[in-house]
Amino acid sequence: MKNLIPSHIKSLIPYKSARKISNNGKIFLNANELPFDINFKLDCLKLNRYPDFQPKKLINNYSLYSKVESSNIIVTRGIDESIELLIKTFCESKKDKVLFFPPTYDMYKVSSSILNINSISINSLSNFQLNYFKIIKKLKDVKLIFICHPNNPTGNIINIDFILKLLNSISLNTLIIIDEAYIDFCEQYSTVKYLKQYSNLVVLRTLSKAFGLAGIRCGFLLANIKIIKFLYKVIAPYPIATPVSKIAEILLNNENIQLMKRNVSQLILNKKWLLNKLKKFSYIQKVFNSDVNFILFKSNLSEELFSFFIKNGVILRDQSDKIFLKNCLRVTVGTIKECKIINNLLIDFENSKIFK
């Protein structure tokens, strides 16, 4: 079978999904999911027919929430499908390039590699903002620029003035794609308000994080109608299963949006509590600021600490393999009970080391 596999798949480094990494934990704080159960009632569904190509009511509800017109919205199987759809639609193999800024979300690279599209990366600055002068020099053949805002795994927003400056200086033949997976935790920084002004701006949203629906795989791509038109040509014929769109539709009604906002407020309080605790340990050298529902921190004992947490049934995410993030771990902010468990384990770890 030596000749069965194309070389770009042979050399592919696949995405390490959180569920692949560890199944035997009790408390999962490695995928930035909401820690609360979301309750809803689903009436009997007719499933003998194919679903709508793009479910109208769902799009209408997301339009009301995002204040973006329905005609500028596509529903996809999570942001991950949107990323792939954009590359499939706008990039030609061996010619066009995708640009992104490590340390960041891995799927921009993984999807480009799978589709055999060249990608280039420009490392962020040490404060995790982006390097404007380097970027504008490297835009030859770049069709898609992915900006993760707020960024995963660092947890910071990207300066809006930078994003606008870049939008003002690039050609309309390059799209700027803002991945706003975590924007519901800091909605004042959303870039959707610039969609009308910039026809080459694309914003990606999801129900997987603040809305607590990672299990249904539902995301939204917001863009100018001229872009949407071409994405329609490429997207799968029935991308969203009927139960998925029904559940999403319910969770996007007024009452449930208020619930999401209360959950977000609670998690922001939990985050503040956990941030302050993390800063108290002498073996944690740095705790990064966070605009989202996870915290990145650095410890010279990160490897040992990571294993210690696993041994106690708590799964964090090791970010050590990423540029600038040696010895860094990422913890999702969970319930206050889970935050207290983290704090207690950090104390146990400290005591086992007897630094004092």
Ligand X SMILES: *Cc1c(COP(=O)(O)O)cnc(C)c1O
Name the residues that contact ligand X, by CB under 6 A.
32, 78-80, 105, 148, 152, 179, 181, 206, 208, 214, 219
Identify which of residues 246 and 277 has a Cβ nearer to ligand X in the complex.
Answer: 246
Structure tokens that stand for 249 in this block: 């539709």
- Min. distance of Cβ 108 from ligand X in angstroms? 9
- Min. distance of Cβ 355 from ligand X in angstroms? 34
How far, CA to CA in Å, does 236 sit from each of 124, 126, 175, 220?
Answer: 34, 40, 22, 15
Cβ contact 89:234 at 8 Å: yes
Separation between Cα atoms, residue 96 and residue 91, nearest integer Å = 5
107 contact partners, CB below 8 Å, separation of at least 6: 15, 80, 83
- Min. distance of Cβ 343 from ligand X in angstroms? 25
Identify which of residues 290 and 341 has a Cβ nearer to ligand X in the complex.
Answer: 290
- Min. distance of Cβ 18 from ligand X in angstroms? 9
Identify which of residues 148 and 295 has a Cβ nearer to ligand X in the complex.
Answer: 148
Identify which of residues 91 and 244 has a Cβ nearer to ligand X in the complex.
Answer: 244
How many residues are given for the chain? 356
Identify which of residues 113 and 152 has a Cβ nearer to ligand X in the complex.
Answer: 152
- Min. distance of Cβ 32 from ligand X in angstroms? 6
Identify which of residues 156 and 284 has a Cβ nearer to ligand X in the complex.
Answer: 156
SS (H, E, C) the chain: CCCCCCHHHHCCCCCCCHHHHCCCCCEECCCCCCCCCCCCCCCCCCCCCCCCCCCHHHHHHHHHHHCCCHHHEEEECHHHHHHHHHHHHHCCCCCCEEEECCCCCCHHHHHHHHCCCEEEECCCCCCCCCCHHHHHHCCCCEEEEEEECCCCCCCCCCCHHHHHHHHHHCCCCCEEEEECCCHHHCHHHCCHHHCCCCCCEEEEEECCCCCCCHHHCCEEEEECHHHHHHHHHHCCCCCCCHHHHHHHHHHCCHHHHHHHHHHHHHHHHHHHHHHHHHCCCCCEEEECCCCCCEEEEEECCHHHHHHHHHHCCEECEECCCCCCCCCEEEEECCCHHHHHHHHHHHHHHHHHHCCC
- Min. distance of Cβ 103 from ligand X in angstroms? 12
Identify which of residues 78 and 212 has a Cβ nearer to ligand X in the complex.
Answer: 78
- Min. distance of Cβ 181 from ligand X in angstroms? 4
Identify which of residues 51 and 153 has a Cβ nearer to ligand X in the complex.
Answer: 153
- Min. distance of Cβ 41 from ligand X in angstroms? 24
Identify which of residues 181 and 267 has a Cβ nearer to ligand X in the complex.
Answer: 181
Separation between Cα atoms, residue 349 and residue 123, nearest integer Å = 33
Identify which of residues 139 and 203 has a Cβ nearer to ligand X in the complex.
Answer: 203
- Min. distance of Cβ 292 from ligand X in angstroms? 9
Q: Which residue is nearest to ligand X (CB)?
A: 78
- Min. distance of Cβ 152 from ligand X in angstroms? 4
Separation between Cα atoms, residue 203 and residue 167, nearest integer Å = 13
